Copies of this chain bind each other. A is one copy, B any other.
Amino acid sequence: MSDPLNALPGKARRQDDPPDSPRSAGYSEPLRVRLADRDNPLPLDCGRELWPVDVEYEVFGELSPSRDNAILVLHALSGDAHVAGWYKDAEALGRPWYSKRPGWWDTMVGPGKAFDTSRYCVICSNVLGSCYGTTGPLSIDPRTGKPYGLKFPVVTVGDWVRLQERLVTHLGIQKLLAVAGGSIGGQQAIEWGLAFPDRLKCSIVLAASPVLSAQGLAFNAVARHAIRTDPNFRDGLYNGGATPDKGLGVARMIGHITYLSEVSMSRKFGRRLRNRHEPGFTFDVDFEVESYLIHQARSFGERFDANSYLYMTKAMDYYDASAWGDGDLARAAQRAKCAWLVASFSSDWLYPPAQCREWVAALCANRLPVTYVNIESSYGHDAFLLEVDTLSRLIPDFLRGVATR
C-alpha cells in the first residue's frame, strides 16, 4: 500500500509519466461515433427516446485478433474519455487543462500499469449527459435547433450503460474482458454486470455501493440547489451568456469535501493559515483549506458545464442496483454471471465500506465469485484515484485469473 503521508494529494503526488516514457499510454486522441439516430434512437429509462447520440471515446492498446482483451473503463462525475496518456494539442481540443497533465487515471492505465495497455485494449467513453464530447445538455436539440439545456432528458446509469453497450458492439467486441470504475464509475460497473451479464467476464467495482445514501442525496441536493439558484443559470439556457459559475463553484466545493476524509483534510491543511501568521479579521481567505476550495471552485467553472453537473448528480441519485430485483438486492444479483472484484476504502464516507459490502453480500448470497477488499486508506473517497500501489497489486492478478479462465 502507498504510504498515505508520503503521497498527499496535491502535495507529494506521484510524478506524471511524460508521453515518451515507457510506462505512458502515450498520445491519444478523442474519437467520436454516432450510436443512435432517428431510425435507431436510444430508449431511455425516463420513457423518452433520444437521437442523435454521439459518443466520445478513447482507445489504448491493441484489440487482440480474437477481441477478447478489451477493458471498458467507466468514469466518475467530472471525468471524461481521456483516461490516460496525453493530448498532442489540448488547446486545440478546447481542453487546455489537459496540456500539462495526462488523463485522469494515467497512474493506472498504461504499459505495465494496473490496466496494462501492452496486454489489454482499454476503452473509455464519455457518458451521456456529460459535457466532454458525448451528447448532453450542451448539444443541439434537433426539434428546436437550439441547445437542449434542461430539455435534455434526465438520464440514468442504466442509460449510460446501454449506450456503452452500443459502443462495445460497434467496436466488434462480443464479450468484454472487464469493466472497471470507481465512484459512479463503480456503479456503472455494477450495472454492466446486471444489464448485460453475458457481455463481460468480470467487473471491477471501486468505492461504489449499490445505492447512494440519504446523506449523499443531501449533498447532491445542495449542489443542484446552488446551481439552479444562480441567477446566471436561467433555467439552463445560459449558452452564449454569463454562465452559472458561482453556483457550480459551490457545488464543486461541496463535492471536494465529500471526496476527502476528515483525516486527509486535517493532514493536508489542518488549520494552517494562508499567511502563516495571524488571522486577518476580515472575510478574505484565512485558512489554507478555504483557499484550496475556492481555487477548486474557480477552476471547475472553466472546465465543466453546470447543466451536466445537474444531470450527472441526478443519475447518481437515481441509481439503485436493487431495481433489477424489484427492490431486493440479492434477487437483483441473481442476474449476474461474471467474476467480481470489489474494493472499498476505509475512510470513504461518500460510499462507505459498509454500504459497498452490501453489494458483496448480495453476490455472496448468490454464490457468485467475488473478491472483496477493504483498503485501509486515509484518503477518503478519492482513494480510488490515489491508492495506486495497492490497486496495482490487486488488479493485474485478478485480471490474469479472469483472462485465463
Q: Are B214 and A349 in touch, CB under 8 angstroms?
A: no
Indicate which residue in B218, B226, B262 contacts A213 across the interface (CB closer than 8 Å): B262
A314 cross-chain contacts in B, Cβ below 8 A? 283
In chain A between 117 and 166, which residues have their CB closer than 8 angstroms to a CB of chain B?
150, 153-154
Q: How far is A261 from B213 in the complex, measured between Cα atoms in Å? A: 11
A225 cross-chain contacts in B, Cβ below 8 A? 249-250, 253, 293-294, 297
A269 cross-chain contacts in B, Cβ below 8 A? 214, 217
Indicate which residue in B46, B212, B249 contacts A281 across the interface (CB closer than 8 Å): B46
A215-B260, A225-B253 provided; 12 other pairs, C-beta below 8 A? A154-B283, A212-B271, A214-B265, A215-B266, A218-B257, A221-B287, A221-B293, A225-B293, A225-B294, A229-B246, A271-B320, A286-B317
A153 cross-chain contacts in B, Cβ below 8 A? 281
Query: Is A113 close to B, CB under 8 A?
Result: no
Q: How far is A352 from B261 in the complex, measured between Cα atoms in Å? A: 13
In chain A between 217 and 267, which residues have their CB closer than 8 angstroms to a CB of chain B?
217-219, 221-222, 224-226, 228-229, 231, 246, 249-250, 253-254, 256-257, 260, 262, 265-266
Contact A271/B214 with A253-B222, A349-B262 known, Cβ cut-off 8 Å: yes
A297 cross-chain contacts in B, Cβ below 8 A? 225
Q: How far is A218 from B288 in the complex, measured between Cα atoms in Å? A: 10
Q: How far is A219 from B217 in the complex, measured between Cα atoms in Å? A: 17
Q: How far is A317 from B287 in the complex, measured between Cα atoms in Å? A: 9
Q: Are B246 and A290 in touch, CB under 8 angstroms?
A: no
Query: Is A96 close to B, CB under 8 A?
Result: no
Q: Are B213 and A229 in touch, CB under 8 angstroms?
A: no
Provide the A89-132 mask, 1 if CB < 8 A to any CB of B, else 0. 00000000000000000000000000000000000000000000
A contact patch SS = helix
Q: How far is A173 from B221 in the complex, measured between Cα atoms in Å? A: 48
Number of residues from A at the complex interface, CB < 8 A: 55
Q: How far is A211 from B268 in the complex, measured between Cα atoms in Å? A: 17
Q: Are A221 and B253 in touch, CB under 8 angstroms?
A: yes
Query: Is A318 close to B, CB under 8 A?
Result: yes
Q: Are A262 and B214 in touch, CB under 8 angstroms?
A: yes
User: How many whole Å from A158's CB to the nearest CB in chain B?
Assistant: 12
Q: How far is A289 from B218 in the complex, measured between Cα atoms in Å? A: 6
Query: Is A21 close to B, CB under 8 A?
Result: no
A250 cross-chain contacts in B, Cβ below 8 A? 222, 225-226, 229, 250
